[in-house]
């Protein structure tokens, strides 16, 4: 029986872990990429019948991590699989603060992790798998910050905007292919993850909108990552989407 193979960056916690749970099951092979592993999550996934592989790495090292991903794709016998999914989920929020104030080293790491690595992995995914006659997906985790400027989030908003545009353009290209890759970007909205905790701890001097995020948390308005993942899974199974579409949490 053919298997489904899923690659998730930042798969040890938050939205990445939720996607792993939603996509796990019998005949599922999960490859999770993160700096650390999560034994509790692995036990949960394997209990559902999934085959789990952890790959510990720093995804902000774009060239090194992309070489590893490329070699992994090249050695797989694709005749044994019916579908392949790449979730470009890993990301960071720092540096938070107005332009010119924070450490440029953190800025360059941010761009590598949030932009360079997902673009490079998408490139290699298409390069190796374009002509494979199996179901192929690239799902990027985006943000509403791509469309609205937030004081203190210039790198984050710019990075997500780049990811949105890249996916939209790739979607246009895939419309011309005989064996297209399905490409979408998912905007999860304000979701209850560790990143939200970091936001709430930020000084208002660096992030003017921090109070609204604190209020959203206190009022129970944050999205549940597992609910989002299940909704996105159902959305993808229906197949009612446009290539390169930016899918909002409100759409699923």
Active site residues: 156
Exposed (0-12), middle (13-18) or buried (19+): which is 99, by Cβ within 10 Å?
exposed
Q: What is the C-alpha separation between 86 and 125, in angstroms, rounded?
A: 8
d(CA 69, CA 64): 9
Q: What is the spatial distance between Cα 42 and Cα 30, in angstroms, rounded to a whole number?
A: 10
Q: Is the sign of the CA dihedral 168, 183, 110, 91 positive or negative?
A: positive
Q: Sheet holding 245-248: strands in order across? A: 51-56, 28-34, 3-9, 81-88, 135-141, 182-187, 245-248
Strand (E) or helix (H) holding 28: strand 28-34
Which residues lie below 8 Å from residue 248, measured CB to CB, with a gap of 6+? 187, 189
- The answer to whether 55 touches 37, Cβ cutoff 8 Å, is no
């Amino acid at each position: 029986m053919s298997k489904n193979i899923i690659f998730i960056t930042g798969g040890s916690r938050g939205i990445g872990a939720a996607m792993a749970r939603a996509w796990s099951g019998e005949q599922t092979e999960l490859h999770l990429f993160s700096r650390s592993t999560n034994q509790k999550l692995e036990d949960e996934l394997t209990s559902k019948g999934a085959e789990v592989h952890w790959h510990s790495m720093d995804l902000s090292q774009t060239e090194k991590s992309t070489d590893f991903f490329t070699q992994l794709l090249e050695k797989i016998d694709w005749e044994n699989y019916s579908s392949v999914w790449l979730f470009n989920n890993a990301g960071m929020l720092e540096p938070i603060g107005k332009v010119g104030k924070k450490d440029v080293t953190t800025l360059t790491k941010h761009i590598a992790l949030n932009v360079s690595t997902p673009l490079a992995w998408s490139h290699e995914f298409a390069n190796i798998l374009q002509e494979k006659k199996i179901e192929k997906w690239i799902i990027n985790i985006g943000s509403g910050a791509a469309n609205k400027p937030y004081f203190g989030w210039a790198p984050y908003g710019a990075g997500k905007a780049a990811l949105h545009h890249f996916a939209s353009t790739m979607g246009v290209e895939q419309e011309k292919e005989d064996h297209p890759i399905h490409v979408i970007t998912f905007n999860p909205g304000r979701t209850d993850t560790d990143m939200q905790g970091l936001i709430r701890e930020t000084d208002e001097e660096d992030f003017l909108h921090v109070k609204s995020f604190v209020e959203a948390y206190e009022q129970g308005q944050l999205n549940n990552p597992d609910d989002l993942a299940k909704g996105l899974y159902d959305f993808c199974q229906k197949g009612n989407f446009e290539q390169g579409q930016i899918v909002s949490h409100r759409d699923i």
